[in-house]
Amino acid sequence: MTAFKELGLEEALLQGIAALGFETPTPVQELVIPTALQTNEDLIALAQTGTGKTAAFGLPLLQRIDPAEKNVQALILCPTRELCVQVAKDLESYSQYAHHYKVVAVYGGASIETQVRKIKAGAQIIVATPGRLVDLLVRQVARLDKVSRIVLDEADEMLNMGFKDAVDMILEAVENRQSIWLFSATMPREVRAIASTYMRNPLELNVGQHNQINADIEHQYFVCHSADRYAALKRIVDATPGIYGLVFCRTRSDTKEIAEQMIRDGYNADALHGDLVQSDRDRVMQRFRERNLQLLIATDVAARGIDVSDISHVINYGLPDEIEVYTHRSGRTGRAGRKGISISIITPKFEEKIRQIERRTKSTFAKMTIPTGYEVCESQLFHIIQNIHDQEVQHAEIEPFLPRVYEALKDLSKEELIKRFASVEFNRFLSYYRNAPDINLRGSGKDRKNSRNDQAGSNGSMQRLFVNIGLMDGINKKDFLQLLIREFRVPKPAIGGIDIKKSYMHFDIEHTFSRDVRRGLEEFDINGRRVKVNEAKPMPEKFDKKAKDKKFGGKKAQGRKKAY
């Protein structure tokens, strides 16, 4: 593996990235940095967001700035104000031990006068949204005759957002530039057109497969009736305790509505969309970044600049029209080497669209079953148990209270005590999901099954099984799939969704194979523990005592604060 220092970067920049914790270059950095440091040729790099592309262009760009020259030497165009701010901030971080380069971010929605003042104070790099930069060009604020490099960041997205004319104007206006570096996640016709009009024999740097498919992202989809989409969203969130997610909606009004509904239902959620004033957007983003907000409901446009590297789930509340937009959305998770899950909640007519995305992006989508009320309660219960197990004890602080605590609980046996502790949180979900019907759409999509028996998770000829091992036993989805295929000779199409949690898992398998697989698995010992497999159970009768075929969500959860 190549080290950063072999790429030709100067010492001060190496120190800057070391301080950020970057140890080894990502593939796009390895490919772009040495070339961009040397050549004056135009470059095209196919790179998705999350692959480290900002440093790929930012580091060589900084190294090629003349610190003594106080005019604008480089322009970086980004599709959104959030991305502008982020890129400018990143450049400042990379160069914290280098010369004090003057980097100014300019974007709409903020005072143009302040931005003009900053540029006039000797900006060397301008990071701009195309629209605002055109305003500045018209006002003849900045001298651009010393601009030698222009970076088009997320070029496909800039064109998607209608910035083609502005980009054209800027590229025409900057006459003396030496090179254009174009970064794009995809290469649609419009981006090719920009390249052929303004770039001279560009060098194409393609990180290839690695950048095309982000192997760290797992794609899943859930099918339900349109009317059940919100209920499905809640179940998925409830069955994923600890989720830190971004939910994409198609329109501002959907975004507002879903966020309001989620807040009303007790979730730690908020909305990010274009109707918010900048200060509100900043506030929401800060809460999300600091993890004080667990779910951010956003439109595509508003979410463009979000650079949070540990988002666990992206949820598509409906699929976007453009496949590229799906790629951008899912690229918000699985960043910087972490694993992420991209979930789509769709109605049956969009299953074909899933196939299209699979073909175009060369990735596989797993069809999942929307968790039943029973499964939600089970996930939550084991999450609580795990939390109790891992709970750090503040011995000194709790010690003085313990005699009274022991006294108050002395009439309870260990088993009783465990039951009650576990019930504290469990009861909230239990009361909410007691009457929840199955909202999965099976088969053709017409044969919706709501009967209690279907809650077992049996999916047509599929059967859902529960296994008492999970991630903490060192098993992951890929290994488990291989085990089923290699060890038990189960053909891949007979295996449905595999959902591995920390201490247990569920998976769907065709009935024909389930008996042999169960028997086989139960012969395994993991860490001295015997593997146990059970049929995922329907709601127990008691659980279902008052079931009156009530529609999910009809009954408002009582005392339900945060649903995670």
Of 7, 44, 50, 319, which one interacts with ligand AMP (CB under 6 A)?
50
Of 22, 248, 350, 513, which one interacts with ligand AMP (CB under 6 A)?
22
Shortest separation between residue 306's beta carbon and ligand AMP, angstroms = 10
Does 307 interact with ligand AMP (rule: CB under 6 A)?
A: yes
Q: Which stretch binds ligand AMP (CB under 6 A): 22-30, 148-156, 226-234, 433-441?
A: 22-30
Residue 113 three-state SS: helix
Shortest separation between residue 31's beta carbon and ligand AMP, angstroms = 13
**By C-beta, is 49 or 342 nearer to ligand AMP?**
49
Does 426 interact with ligand AMP (rule: CB under 6 A)?
A: no
Residue appearing with tokens 């998976």 = 507
- Exposed, middle or buried: residue 233 (CB in 10 Å: 0-12, 13-18, 19+)? buried
Dihedral of the CA atoms 323, 324, 329, 330 (nearest 10)? 70
Of 7, 14, 32, 54, which one interacts with ligand AMP (CB under 6 A)?
54
In the sheet with 295-298, reading across from the earlier edge strand, the strands are 269-272, 295-298, 245-248, 313-317, 340-346, 217-223, 365-367
**By C-beta, is 96 or 347 nearer to ligand AMP?**
96
Shortest separation between residue 61's beta carbon and ligand AMP, angstroms = 13
d(CA 413, CA 450): 40
Quote the DSSP letter at residue 544. G
Residue 50: closest CA among 332, 281, 392: 332
Q: Which stretch binds ligand AMP (CB under 6 A): 18-26, 203-211, 446-454, 523-531?
A: 18-26
Does 55 interact with ligand AMP (rule: CB under 6 A)?
A: yes
Residue 93: closest CA among 21, 157, 150: 21
The binding track of 251-290 with respect to ligand AMP, each residue x by CB under 6 A or -, is ----------------------------------------
Question: How many residues touch ligand AMP (CB under 6 A)?
Answer: 15
Q: How far is CA 217 from the centre of its chain?
A: 9
d(CA 114, CA 106): 9
Q: How many C-beta atoms surround the C-beta of residue 21 within 10 A?
A: 7
Of 31, 46, 53, 228, which one interacts with ligand AMP (CB under 6 A)?
53
**By C-beta, is 23 or 487 nearer to ligand AMP?**
23
Q: Which stretch binds ligand AMP (CB under 6 A): 19-27, 143-151, 313-321, 544-552?
A: 19-27
Does 186 interact with ligand AMP (rule: CB under 6 A)?
A: no
**Do residues 507 and 479 lie in contact, with contact meaning Cβ atoms separated by under 8 Å?**
no
Residue environment code for 417-454, b if the CB has 16+ CB neighbours within 10 A, otherwise e: eeeeeeeebbebbbebbbbbbbbbbbeeeeebbeebeb
The binding track of 332-371 with respect to ligand AMP, each residue x by CB under 6 A or -, is ---xx-----------------------------------
Of 36, 49, 152, 455, which one interacts with ligand AMP (CB under 6 A)?
49
The beta-carbon contacts of 488-495 under 8 Å, at least 24 apart in sequence, are 488/513, 488/516, 488/517, 488/520, 490/517
Shortest separation between residue 450's beta carbon and ligand AMP, angstroms = 44
Residue 256 CB contacts under 8 Å (≥ 6 apart), including other chains:
271, 273, 275
Of 253, 309, 476, 534, which one interacts with ligand AMP (CB under 6 A)?
309
Shortest separation between residue 474's beta carbon and ligand AMP, angstroms = 25
d(CA 287, CA 350): 33
Of 46, 51, 147, 288, which one interacts with ligand AMP (CB under 6 A)?
51
**Contact positions toward ligand AMP, by CB under 6 A?**
22, 25-26, 29, 49-55, 307, 309, 335-336
